[in-house]
């Protein structure tokens, strides 16, 4: 049996939706994007949702409208897909990397408080692999420093957090803006695609302007029976989503509750199977969050005798794909030369080169001691049985 890390569950509804758009004669941003935005806002409980080409540009645009300028600092995490750090650099700012919490893989609020510099202009937190970050603590720090919070919710559609005794959906948003991804590795896919949610109508309007070259009027000229001349108020971008993409996303969004229920059941099954496993420990889902199980992370037990790579190779040899923990931007060549800050102190290149720089121990451990198991909606019981049996066959 071959079990991939993720398998797409697209079917007739998505084929029909794409065909409908192709036959309509309108494939660029139009009515399907508008409908997807309305339905996404309803699904996350957000007043406004603005579709864009992908989550990386969603983050870039969000930082820009939040007022981040070249030379500013943005407090964020290294332990994330590289897009998080790249979005900060894209607006000319410097990422200040903060360590994460072990059980949520997301920003540690105490480390955040220590990392804020006089130049910090925004906080970019990540709801990593579907686990929510500690929003109440992060928002309290942001408020006391007068800083906007942008949530990288790329992986967190449908994840929930309990605040003041109530379960709330990620992306409502709790910060100023939240950004989602529709890359095939996430729960809902449009091939590539992104969405920004906000409660602020003026920000939503500004995002709509900037994603389309700051062009006005933004409505389709072909619908007007009068000659209209467009104008462009400032240099901006083409970050549009197409109607083809949006149409494919809509039926998946309608299935989201069922998708999450299925993924929770798969995760529970793994957690039960790993309870007494000699090498791998199941994740701990804190009582205040409900993951959408975008990924299922297991942790190497310290008593185990096989390395991360050896376990992954054992699984792969038997047809089971896995991935190591989320990467760390500060360990990548792109960020390893003080292109980021070590914290409040200026980066010392010599110390950095000698490995004496500030470390992010929890982030580094999370990458090297975590193995992500295959988990996707549409995974059959026989497939999961096979993964569990292969895990049991690991020489403990
Ligand atoms: C996938 C991902 C992104 C980037 O999303 P794209 O839509 O591929 O640009 C950003 N941040 C995190 C945490 C992600 O997992």
Ligand 1 mutation pick, 52, 181, 187, 291, max ligand atoms within 8 A of CB: 181
- Same structural domain, 290 and 150: no
At 119-135, the pLDDT tens digits run 999 999 999 999 999 99
* Total domains in the fold of the chain: 2
Is 60 exceeded by the pLDDT of residue 347? no
Q: Is residue 6 part of a domain?
A: no
Note whether residue 60 is domain-resident: yes
Judge if 223 and 318 occupy the same domain: no
Q: Measured from the CB, is residue 341 less than 6 Å from ligand 1?
A: no
Question: Domain for residue 59, yes or no?
Answer: yes
- Give dist(CA 18, CA 133) in Å, integer: 35
Residue 5 domain flag: no
Confidence bin at 80 (pLDDT 50/70/90) = very high
- pLDDT band at 351; cut points 50, 70, 90: low
Q: How far is the CA of 55 from the centre of ligand 1 (A)?
A: 5
297 and 330 assigned to the same domain: yes
Name the band, by pLDDT with cuts 50, 70 and 90, for residue 342: low
The pLDDT, as a whole number, for residue 348 is 61
Residue nearest to atom 5 of ligand 1 (CA): 55
Whether 244 and 376 map to the same domain: the answer is no
Same domain, 296 and 232: no
At which of 254, 272, 299 does a domain end?
254
DSSP string, 243-292: HHHHHHHHHHHHTHHHHHHHHHHHHHHHHHHHTT-SSEEPP---TTEE--
Ligand 1: residue of 78, 81, 325 to mutate (most ligand atoms within 8 A of CB) is: 81
Contact between 31 and 348 under an 8 Å Cβ cutoff? The reply is: no
The CATH number of residue 63's host domain is 3.40.640.10
Q: How far is the CA of 172 from the centre of ligand 1 (A)?
A: 18
To test the ligand 1 pocket, which listed residue (90, 107, 183, 189) has its Cβ within 8 A of the most ligand atoms?
183
Instruction: Output 22 or 226, whichever has higher pLDDT.
Output: 22
Q: How far apart are the first and last CA of the chain?
A: 22
| Residue 358 in this model has a pLDDT that exceeds 90 | no
Asked whether 181 lines ligand 1 (CB < 6 A), one says yes
Question: How far apart are the CA of 351 and the centre of ligand 1, in A?
Answer: 31
pLDDT tens-place string over residues 91-100: 999 999 999 9
| Residue 1 domain-assigned (yes or no) | no
* Out of 222-226, 285-289, 385-389, least confident range: 222-226
Q: Is the CB of 83 under 6 A from ligand 1?
A: yes
**Confidence tier at 349 by pLDDT (50, 70, 90):** low
pTM: 0.95
Whether the per-residue pLDDT at 343 is higher than 60: the answer is no
Residues 189 and 242 in one domain: yes
pLDDT number for residue 377? 96
Tell whether 4 is covered by a domain: no
Q: Indicate if ligand 1 lies below 6 Å from the C-beta of 194.
A: yes
Confidence class of residue 344 from pLDDT cuts 50, 70 and 90?
A: very low
Give which of 27, 81, 77 is closest to 54, Cα–Cα. 81
Give the residue from 254, 285, 302 where a domain finishes. Answer: 254
- Distance separating alpha carbons of residues 127 and 168, to the nearest angstrom: 14
Read off the pLDDT of each residue in 283-304 and give the average, rounded to a whole number. Answer: 94
For the CA of 185, the nearest atom of ligand 1 = 1
Work out the average pLDDT over 80-89.
97
Residues 181 and 274 in one domain: no
Give the structural domain span for 372. 256-392
Claim to verify: residue 242 and residue 269 sit in the same structural domain: no
Instruction: Determine whether the shortest distance from the Cβ of 294 to ligand 1 is under 6 A.
Output: no
Of 25-39, 63-77, 129-143, 300-314, the range with the lowest mean pLDDT is: 300-314
Model confidence pLDDT, tens digit, residues 182-231: 999 999 999 999 999 999 999 999 999 999 999 998 766 666 788 888 99
pLDDT value at residue 345: 53
What's the rounded Cα separation, in Å, for the pair 326 and 320?
19
Same domain, 66 and 32: yes
Claim to verify: residue 75 and residue 223 sit in the same structural domain: yes
Which of 238, 254, 270 terminates a domain? The answer is 254
Look at residue 338 and tell me whether its pLDDT is greater than 70: no
What's the 195 CA to ligand 1 centre distance in angstroms? 11
Q: Is residue 154 part of a domain?
A: yes
Q: Rounded to an integer, what distance in angstroms lies between the CA atom of residue 31 and that of residue 325?
A: 39
**232 and 370 assigned to the same domain:** no
Q: What is the mean pLDDT of residues 271-294?
A: 96
Output phi, psi for 51, to 5 deg.
-85, 145
Q: CA 239, 244, 248, 253 torsion: positive or negative?
A: positive
Whether residue 346 is predicted with pLDDT greater than 90 in this model: the reply is no
| Domain identity same for 237 and 273 | no
Strands 166-169 and 94-98 come out as unpaired
pLDDT at 225: 81
Residue 356 has pLDDT above 60, yes or no: no
Tell me the best of 59, 104, 152 to mutate to test the pocket of ligand 1, counting ligand atoms within 8 Å of each CB and taking the most.
152
| Nearest Cα residue to 371 out of 333, 335, 324 | 324
* φ/ψ bin of 193: left (φ > 0), alpha (ψ from -120 to 50), beta (otherwise): left
């Amino acid at each position: 049996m071959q079990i991939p890390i993720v398998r797409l569950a697209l079917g007739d509804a998505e084929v029909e939706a794409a065909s409908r758009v192709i036959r309509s004669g309108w494939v660029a941003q139009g009515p399907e994007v508008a409908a997807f935005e309305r339905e996404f806002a309803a699904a996350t409980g957000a007043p406004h949702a603005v579709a864009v080409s992908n989550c990386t540009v969603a983050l870039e645009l969000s930082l820009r409208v939040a007022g981040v300028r070249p030379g500013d600092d943005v407090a964020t995490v290294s332990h994330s897909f590289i897009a998080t750090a790249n979005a900060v650099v894209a607006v000319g700012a410097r990422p200040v990397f903060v360590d994460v919490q072990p059980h949520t893989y997301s920003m540690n609020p105490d480390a955040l408080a220590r990392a804020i510099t006089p130049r910090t202009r925004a906080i970019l937190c990540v709801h990593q692999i579907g686990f929510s970050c500690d929003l109440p603590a992060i928002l309290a720090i942001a408020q006391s420093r007068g800083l906007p919070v942008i949530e990288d919710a790329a992986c967190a559609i449908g994840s929930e957090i309990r605040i003041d005794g109530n379960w709330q959906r990620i992306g409502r948003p709790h910060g100023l803006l939240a950004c989602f991804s529709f890359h095939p590795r996430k729960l809902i896919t449009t091939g590539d695609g992104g969405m920004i949610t906000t409660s602020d109508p003026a920000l939503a309007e500004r995002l709509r302007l900037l994603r389309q070259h700051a062009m006005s009027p933004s409505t389709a000229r072909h619908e007007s029976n009068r000659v209209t001349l467009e104008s462009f108020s400032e240099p901006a971008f083409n970050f549009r989503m197409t109607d083809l993409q949006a149409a494919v996303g809509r039926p998946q969004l309608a299935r989201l509750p069922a998708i999450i229920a299925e993924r929770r059941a798969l995760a529970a099954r793994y957690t039960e199977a790993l309870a007494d496993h000699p090498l791998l420990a199941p994740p701990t889902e804190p009582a205040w969050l409900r993951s959408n199980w975008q990924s299922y992370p297991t942790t190497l037990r310290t008593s185990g005798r096989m390395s991360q790579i050896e376990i992954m190779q054992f699984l792969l040899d038997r047809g089971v794909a896995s991935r190591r923990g989320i990467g760390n931007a500060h360990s990548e060549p792109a960020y390893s030369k003080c292109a980021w800050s070590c914290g409040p102190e200026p980066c010392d290149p010599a110390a950095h080169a000698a490995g004496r720089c500030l470390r992010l121990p929890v982030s580094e451990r999370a990458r090297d001691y975590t193995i992500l198991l295959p988990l996707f909606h549409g995974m059959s019981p026989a497939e999961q049985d096979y993964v569990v049996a292969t895990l049991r066959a690991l020489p403990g």
